[in-house]
Structure 1
Amino acid sequence: MSPFPLAPARWMVLPAAVLAGAALGGGYGAVKTPQYAATSYVIVVPAEKSDPSAALGFAQAYGRVATDIAVTGDAQVWAGVPAATLRSDVQAATSPDAPMISITARSAKPSTAVSMADAVARALITDSSHVAANTGVRVVQFSRATKPVTPVSPSAALSALVGACGGGLLGGLGLLVRPKRAVRAEARHSRQATVPGPSTAAQPASEAV
């Protein structure tokens, strides 16, 4: 007898998992608040008689501490958001071959995202001017953030697609695991069924006629 008598019913798990994943993903995308991103750019320039190569190194350093400088400075006041929001929703990125820093802020409101990105950039510029005599470099504004018109968070349709893919993957893994368990269970049952009982073939010599 086949070890998978309910194979057609078992294969229905896959489309059901896909539909469930699509429903969950689409629902999440529909109720999640859209997020907008705005990016401000600053550039590190060397002062007169300073080594131009130092600008690249200081750009990497400023990029690492951008949110720390913003929190300890006036960026939270300029942006109108708490310090914790700047730490969690602002990211700075640097280029390995150019002394430029991109500051990207995310928010549910496009205008707030712009204010946060520009505020952190302004904090970097202000902080660099205070220590320019020691560092030999200063940070200047390269490009202010522009107001985003489309959200960067996934739409409901994209979330549904991702959910469907995830559900299909989980359903497929479930189908791969269950047959192996069924085979092992049937093999164990077969071994138990074929174990011989006590042998009665051998008789004591004294009982022979």
Structure 2
Amino acid sequence: MNQESGPTQHRRTGGAARAWSRRAVWLLPGAIALGSLSGLVYGVVKAPQYAATSYVVVVPAEKGDASAALGFAQAYGRVAMDVAVTGDAAVAARVPVATLRAGVQAATSPDAPMISFTARSEDPGRAVEMADAVARAVVTNSSLTQGSTGVKVLNFSRATKPTEPVSPSVAVSVLVGGCAGGLLGGLGLLVRPRREPDEPYAAVPGPAQAGAVQAGAVQAQSAPAQTAPAQAPVRKASSQKEPV
């Protein structure tokens, strides 16, 4: 199998990084524009939602304990939707049971024995009917069980017809969509290919060249060292004169 050398792989990686950098210039603005457009479409197409809230209060019965009212308020808040379905609240509100369960939320207070029922619907009048129907069902149920529970539920405040929607406006939808698009675009920039530094790579010898270099090194180690030729000693001239 052929393996790519270091310089070739470096050039391909660097080229991919540069190409990605050129495309990434438009990634973040494009993502923001696409998110804003999606928010605009959602704000225009999505129907506005209206909310209406009805309140009930839990009070002790004639021989009931006042301290038990708060605990029973928490209990009624948890089972309110089941009580409403059993008490034909969906029939009174003229909506299906699934719509009633999905459109009404019960909330309790930790400090007061009060329960709120908030209904959401595209029709303001329908939201009022759903909230009041659930509240009446809970009041009716408590009147049947007050002999054993020692508490009863009373209507505290009926729901009023809303005049303004509670769903986000078109401007808010565009802003949220733009922020979401910018977030996704920023995440896309984080996963771009990393550009390698422009450093030269040392050439790696092939198998044949490496074997030749190794053989030459072994031959150089086994060859005897060359010594310089010995020089003949120089005889000094005699300074004595011959007799006449």
**TM-score, length of structure 1 as denominator length:** 0.88
Corresponding residue for residue 151 of structure 1: 165
Q: 1:73 aligns with which of 62, 67, 87?
A: 87
Q: Give 3-state SS (helix, strand or coil) of 2:110's partner.
A: coil
* 1:194 Cα deviation after fit: 4.6
In 2, Cα distance between equivalents of 1:176 and 1:142 = 55
**What are the Cα deviations for residues 35-55 of structure 1, in whole angstroms up to 9, with x where unaligned?**
111000000000123211100
Corresponding residue for residue 92 of structure 1: 106
* 1:9 Cα deviation after fit: 4.2
In 2, Cα distance between equivalents of 1:166 and 1:101 = 36
Q: 1:52 aligns with which of 57, 66, 77?
A: 66
Runs of 4+ that moved beyond 3 A = 1-9
Corresponding residue for residue 32 of structure 1: 46
CA separation of 1:127 and 1:171: change in aligned 2, threshold 3 A: same
* 1:5 matches 2:5: no
**TM-score, length of structure 2 as denominator length:** 0.76
CA separation of 1:133 and 1:182: change in aligned 2, threshold 3 A: same
Unpaired runs of at least 5, structure 2: 1-10, 224-244
* Contact 1:11–1:175 under 8 Å retained in 2: no
In 2, Cα distance between equivalents of 1:147 and 1:172 = 43
Unpaired runs of at least 5, structure 1: none
* 1:11 Cα deviation after fit: 2.5
**What are the Cα deviations for residues 78-106 of structure 1, in whole angstroms up to 9, with x where unaligned?**
11111111111100000011100000001
Q: 1:138 aligns with which of 152, 166, 175?
A: 152
Q: Give 3-state SS (helix, strand or coil) of 2:160's partner.
A: coil
- Identical aligned pairs, as a percentage? 60
- How many pairs are equivalent? 203
Within a 5 Å distance, the mapping from 1:60-209 to structure 2 comes to 60-178=74-192, 181-183=193-195, 186=196, 194=202, 196-198=204-206, 199=210, 200-203=212-215
**What are the Cα deviations for residues 118-157 of structure 1, in whole angstroms up to 9, with x where unaligned?**
0000000000000010101000000000000111111111
The amino acid that maps onto 2:213 is A
In 1, Cα distance between equivalents of 2:128 and 2:48 = 15
* 1:12 Cα deviation after fit: 1.8
Q: Give 3-state SS (helix, strand or coil) of 1:182's partner.
A: coil
Tell me which moved more, 115-124 or 149-158: 149-158
Corresponding residue for residue 237 of structure 2: none
